[in-house]
Chains A and B, each alone.
Chain A
Amino acid sequence: MTGYFRPRSLEEALAIRAETGALPLAGGTDIHPLRTARAAWGEPWTTPVLDLSAVPGLDGIVETAEGWRIGARSSWTDIADARLPPMFEGLQAAAREVGGRQVQNRGTIAGNLVTASPAGDGIPNLLALEAEVELASRDATRRLPVAEFLTGYRATALAPGEIVTALHVPRCDGARGRFEKLGARRYLVISIAMAAAVIATQGDRVSEARIAIGACSPVARRLAALEAALLGLHPSEMPRVPQPSHLAPLAPIDDVRATAGYRMDAALVLLRDLLAGFAA
């Protein structure tokens, strides 16, 4: 039987994490399937598991002085149902598109981030929200921007001994968020490509634009050149802006869901649709 720890306090959780290196588990929507996939070809699960579901203080979505704190264990349903300003509409849309209702009820925002799948539906939204990850260890608490936390294909800066405790999203006045997901069926589908944006306006002009594409590179990427090109425009002008050159940060691959070339073309269409939605 694998080591399985279900502590009742953060201190206890951090001690277990430090001493055993146990893998944090919250909703289990990634770890149980991973165990199943390994077992299917005769590789039993041996990694100790640190179940965070009984640790207080890891849930709740609250407004703070700087913006919002989203507890690490917030589920997709928690996020979708939360009363949040329009800048979160993209993240909330993603929350309604992940898996099916069962996964939305269990899967957590921090889990989506730590799994660091290129196709994680939360990630482009968190990039566009310029979210920061709050990381706790026995010795310290630190914060990292999501873009720095994600270091590669299913790789993060989570250090041994650390646990994600929350995400922090800074205020962005006058901003709205949107999300577009492309998959080959309606529900329970891993994205072929996705696009997320947070756009702020002052008067009738774009004052801030943050745009990220997922499932088209090992880590979802912001598109800085496109963002710059949108500044100062009327929102109705935005859909015409995205051009292939804006996709330079992307590096999609061929897989069972789509070809790399298609992903690039689709990303451009999704971007135009995404931006058109702000004008609507």
Chain B
Amino acid sequence: MIALTVNGARREVAADPFAPLSDTLREGLGLTGTKEGCNAGDCGACTVLMDGVQVCACLVSTAQAEGAEITTVEAADPLLDRLRAAFLARGAAQCGVCTPGMLMAALDLLRRDAAPDRAAVEDALGGVLCRCTGYLQIIDAVLDAARGTVIAPPADGRVGAAIPRLDGAPKVAGTELYGADDAPADALWLRVVRSPHAHARFTLGDLDAARRRLGLEAILSARDVPGLNGFGIMPNLKDQPVFADGYVRYRGEAVLGLLGDRATLAAVRDADLPVAWEVLPPLHGVDAASMPDAPRLHDHAPGNILVRGHLRTGNAEPAFATSAARAEGTFRTAFVEHAYIELEAGHAIPGADGAMTVFACTQAPVMDREETARVLGVAEDAVRIVPTACGGGFGGKLDVSVQPLLAVAARVAKRPVRMTYTRTESMAASTKRHPAILHARMAADAEGRFTAFMLDGDFNTGAYASWGPTVANRVPVHASGPYRVPNVLNRTRAVYTNDTPAGAFRGFGVPQAAIATEALVDDLAIALGMDRWEIRRRNALGKGDVTPSGQVLHASAGLPECLDALKPEWEALLARVAAHNAAHARHRLGAGIACMWYGCGNTALSNPSTMRISLARDGTLTLFNGAVDIGQGSTTVIGQIAADALGLPLASLRQVLGDTALTPDAGKTSASRQTFVSGRAAAEAAKALRARILALANAGDGATLALDGSLLTVRDAHTRRVIDLAALDADLVAEARYDPPTVPLDADGQGVPYATYGFAAQVALVRVDTALGTVKVEEIAVAQDVGRAVNPLLVAGQIHGGIAQGLGLALMEEFIPGRTESLHDYLIPTAGDMPAIRIHLIEDPEPEGPFGAKGVGEPALVPTAPAILSAIRHATGVRMTEVPVLPHRLFAGLEGGEPPPGPLPSLAVGD
């Protein structure tokens, strides 16, 4: 037994002395508020105080905690309470999985230094990674707590109110339950053995003998999958096996499942398992997979081409050839890892007659149910998915991960089974942002009006299809940017390789395409001697304009307003850059600009949401909300919409969330669709309930409602009626379904792919050390058309977080299979890497959206990387065509680190 003091109480625990303290706290003492994100000291999620100072609990052997005082997020402490309140008020907890670590790091700081400055806060939080917030709201919260200036939240939660998130309290208390935080005590553990080879055949020996020798309950393989041994996003393309069947197409593919108690599983050497490998030459990258003699990785994909995307309008080639200014370039982007801090985790509980309940972190419970049922070979209604709290997704938890594995294991074991991915497993096995090779051309007339755009884009979709078709289809629609371009020819391919599967990641290929397009826009501005803001403003899509898909934008197209809002920022930045650079040769400033548009919802496909709201006879008002809140805030936003549409206070609304057995299908949390699509469904359901109430009271449209227990008071100008809900025959229930109107795309990509689009522009200020090739992003100003900001606090959080991810995409993030499989080799921005951010919200209401709102999450990311690249070019004259712009890459562009001679090309214009 090891004795330690935890949160003031003496505890004794039986634990392996070498076991990380984080594991002992969670599994031994049940204190699951401390999160494990890497078990390597790379993410800081497990930060606790040990004898008063912050440590990563994953780096402390349990034996070392003997006699120590440990403080965790569950502690009762007035200073911690102040931090909790400040975090809630500032929106500093989004998914909440880094929050315990952040709170502990902040507590350590405030105990050492009661009046820290911003730099001290950054230093104190620098060891905790957050993937959602972009850190600024966290840093502000810590400063608020230190100064005693915690903001009081708005009194009511109507649409437009910047209220703290409704699900925030358990996140700051450490009581929120994520995928790894809860499971039946008798659950077996599952560990998946994964291929160390990118391309190989294998044969299995005597698994039963191995099971007995190793003391395992079972060793699962392809033969144990009762239904279809395949899953995948596309309805007709279930190309990824749950367990590989003699052939693996990427490093990290599941081969075997080991079932047993955790210590036994941990002691198994993969090399001792009866797997005989025949390693095959791997196809890494699109070029290798496109060689004429490349082996075909899937029977259905000749040439390894998964899918092609296409859009054509006008006649691009001749328009390009005859234009006054022409630009052309080839751009490359890397695999990007989602790096949600919560690892994939969950548990499954088998029921009678083939029933299965899976608890897991997910962005798409209904799709998980379909996938799991197919793999089990049972009807969909036999499977229930209960989403746990989701510690970040960003697209990476749209595909199933643990769900089919757990379900198969629980079926075989006839017992509950749980599992948690390791960080390396998560990084090696899960989907990534598609690497792209983009060859683009763009032209303008002498006045700077765009005349033509052409893109040939290859996307490395990795070993399995996942969302590859979605990327290949979304990019052609968006690639010419949020501009009027009469002649467009976009061709994309998603290509199978032996790399990690690429899937959905915040923006579905649009961020990659924007890097190419915005660089060409800058090229054209320079060629024509135009200011970079001016050329964008001249071409910006606005109301009444026609997109390259032939869609007329009837409403909510606020890019011109976004650009106008940024004009003073832009001019001020240019002046600062010019003044600074006139006096400094080595550390140069640069200003950059980029725009974006982003269609909300699926591309020209139905993607309905259904919401149900009930006012029970006991006066309980409940929204049955199937939309999964992955940290972005849909529970709060949809709640605000429903309560406001109904006309009752948000405080009286409870929500039943996510569970496929209890909530109607609200689709997946992707494509910036939950506020827009599910929010609209919630508004419609609430309005329908309101209409029933008004009819019961015989009241007019403008009536106000008040709920007191089971008494509902309805007042209008003339009357006041009290409905005793308890006296009604039944609960009042209303349900509504909303499917955004789209028109399928024809062979040339013409139609109405999306009901609405988000628009945004960003300007960036960077400081480049031209001697070292390093870049610090100092400021970003954003103008984003969100239709209507249902909750400006959460909108700001989405924008900050999108910028952080865009900054990572631009400057540091590069997943290389087999080489950057940890969070110390794969870099995401830290608390010290963020720029100051200024936000101008543009609210050009979308008639289809609830209260005029449309999607926010993905648009925030798209313009950041191109704006940073534009700024780097402005600072140095170097037009980077490959991201991430690691120091050595920019240095190579600078040709030895000397400042560029003469006037900078982009300084010569617009200043």
* Interface residue ranges, A against B (CB under 8 Å): 1-2, 4, 6, 25, 27-29, 32-33, 35-37, 39-45, 49, 51, 53-54, 77, 96, 99-103, 105-106, 182, 184-190, 192, 256-259, 261-263, 265-266, 269-270
CB-CB under 8 A for A29 and B41, given A184-B827, A185-B827, A262-B773? yes
* Interface residue ranges, B against A (CB under 8 Å): 16-18, 20, 38-42, 44, 47, 53-56, 58-61, 63-64, 66, 105, 108, 122-124, 126-129, 193-194, 196, 263, 266-271, 273, 422-425, 428, 771-774, 811-812, 814, 816, 819-822, 824-825, 827, 829-833, 886-888, 891-892, 896-897
Q: Which residues of A contact B55 (CB under 8 A)?
A: 102, 105-106
Q: Choose one: B127, B194, B425, B822; the contact of A99 (CB below 8 Å).
A: B127
A187 near B126 (CB under 8 angstroms)? yes
A131 and B423 alpha carbons, distance in the complex (Å): 37
The smallest beta-carbon distance between B18 and chain A, in angstroms, is 5
CB-CB under 8 A for A187 and B830, given A36-B38, A36-B40, A102-B127? yes
B825 near A258 (CB under 8 angstroms)? no
Q: Choose one: A2, A41, A188; the contact of B424 (CB below 8 Å).
A: A41
The smallest beta-carbon distance between A271 and chain B, in angstroms, is 11
The smallest beta-carbon distance between A82 and chain B, in angstroms, is 16
A241 and B223 alpha carbons, distance in the complex (Å): 69
Q: Choose one: A29, A41, A270; the contact of B270 (CB below 8 Å).
A: A41
Q: Which residues of A contact B41 (CB under 8 A)?
A: 29, 32-33, 99, 102-103
The smallest beta-carbon distance between B716 and chain A, in angstroms, is 59
Q: Give the nearest-CB partner of B807 in chain A.
A: A185
CB-CB under 8 A for A40 and B127, given A6-B63, A186-B832, A262-B887? no
B819 near A101 (CB under 8 angstroms)? no
A188 near B824 (CB under 8 angstroms)? yes
19 extra A-B contacts, CB within 8 A, seeds A53-B64, A185-B812, A266-B888: A1-B16, A2-B18, A4-B17, A32-B61, A42-B273, A54-B66, A100-B126, A102-B59, A103-B56, A184-B886, A185-B829, A185-B830, A185-B832, A186-B831, A192-B888, A256-B814, A256-B816, A258-B887, A258-B888
Q: Choose one: B422, B832, B897; the contact of A39 (CB below 8 Å).
A: B422
Q: Give the nearest-CB partner of A254 in chain B.
A: B888
B887 near A4 (CB under 8 angstroms)? no
A44 and B830 alpha carbons, distance in the complex (Å): 31
The smallest beta-carbon distance between A114 and chain B, in angstroms, is 16
Q: Give the nearest-CB partner of B104 in chain A.
A: A102
The smallest beta-carbon distance between A96 and chain B, in angstroms, is 8
A189 near B827 (CB under 8 angstroms)? yes
Q: Which residues of B contact A186 (CB under 8 A)?
A: 122, 126, 830-833
Q: Give the nearest-CB partner of A187 in chain B.
A: B126
Q: Which residues of A contact B830 (CB under 8 A)?
A: 100, 185-189
A100 and B267 alpha carbons, distance in the complex (Å): 31
- Please classify the interface of chain B as helix (H, G, I), strand (E, B), loop, or mixed, using the class held by over half of its residues: loop
Q: Which residues of A contact B774 (CB under 8 A)?
A: 182, 184
A49 and B17 alpha carbons, distance in the complex (Å): 10
The smallest beta-carbon distance between A275 and chain B, in angstroms, is 14
A188 near B886 (CB under 8 angstroms)? no
A107 and B63 alpha carbons, distance in the complex (Å): 17
A77 and B50 alpha carbons, distance in the complex (Å): 14
Q: Give the nearest-CB partner of A96 in chain B.
A: B123
Q: Which residues of A contact B196 (CB under 8 A)?
A: 41
Q: Which residues of A contact B18 (CB under 8 A)?
A: 1-2, 4, 35, 45, 49
Q: Which residues of A contact B271 (CB under 8 A)?
A: 42-43
Q: Choose one: B38, B63, B886, B887; the contact of A51 (CB below 8 Å).
A: B63
Q: Which residues of B contact A1 (CB under 8 A)?
A: 16, 18, 263
Q: Which residues of A contact B819 (CB under 8 A)?
A: 256
B887 near A184 (CB under 8 angstroms)? yes
B42 near A188 (CB under 8 angstroms)? yes
CB-CB under 8 A for A182 and B59, given A33-B41, A99-B127, A256-B820? no
Q: Choose one: B63, B821, B832; the contact of A187 (CB below 8 Å).
A: B832
Q: List 27 A-B contacts (CB under 8 A).
A: A25-B61, A28-B60, A32-B20, A32-B39, A32-B61, A33-B41, A36-B40, A40-B423, A41-B196, A53-B61, A100-B127, A102-B41, A103-B127, A105-B55, A106-B56, A185-B830, A185-B833, A186-B126, A186-B831, A187-B830, A188-B42, A189-B830, A258-B887, A262-B892, A266-B888, A269-B771, A269-B772
A32 near B40 (CB under 8 angstroms)? yes
A256 and B824 alpha carbons, distance in the complex (Å): 11
A10 and B124 alpha carbons, distance in the complex (Å): 34
The smallest beta-carbon distance between B578 and chain A, in angstroms, is 26
A266 near B831 (CB under 8 angstroms)? no
Q: Which residues of B contact A44 (CB under 8 A)?
A: 266-269
Q: Choose one: A42, A45, A54, A256; the contact of B825 (CB below 8 Å).
A: A256
Q: Give the nearest-CB partner of B58 in chain A.
A: A32
A184 near B897 (CB under 8 angstroms)? no
Q: Choose one: B54, B821, B831; the contact of A40 (CB below 8 Å).
A: B821
Q: Choose one: B64, B193, B425, B822; the contact of A28 (CB below 8 Å).
A: B64
Q: Which residues of B contact A51 (CB under 8 A)?
A: 17, 61, 63-64
Q: Which residues of A contact B47 (CB under 8 A)?
A: 102
Across chains A and B, which 9 residue pairs bring their CB atoms closest together, nearest first? Answer: A100-B127, A42-B270, A186-B832, A187-B126, A40-B424, A262-B888, A33-B40, A187-B830, A4-B17
